[in-house]
């Protein structure tokens, strides 16, 4: 999931990102726990793209 998130953030190697996404979706069928974890991982990747998250991220003190 971490590799997928990095590739999504950097917009590099879209073919590899697709392959990893397919692999993760395939793994979701193995167990309910994996399905939940992977689904939440995909949700987190999408959440990090939202403007409100980005605004909070850039506004936080360093």
pLDDT digits (tens, 9 = 90+) for 4-59: 999 999 999 999 999 999 999 999 999 999 999 999 999 999 998 888 877 887 77
Domain count, the chain: 1
> Domain limits at 33?
2-59
CA distances, 26 to each of 9, 12, 19, 35 (Å): 22, 22, 11, 9
Helices 14-27 and 2-10 pack at an angle, to 10 degrees, of 150
- The pLDDT value recorded for residue 58 is 77
| pLDDT class of 62 with cuts at 50, 70, 90 | low
> Is the per-residue pLDDT at 60 higher than 70?
no
């Amino acid at each position: 999931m971490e590799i997928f998130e990095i590739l999504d953030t950097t917009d590099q190697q879209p073919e590899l990102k697709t392959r990893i996404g397919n692999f993760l979706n395939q793994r979701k069928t193995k167990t309910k726990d994996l399905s939940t974890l992977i689904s939440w991982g995909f949700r987190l990747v999408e959440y990090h793209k939202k403007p409100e998250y980005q605004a909070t991220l850039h506004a936080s003190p360093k």
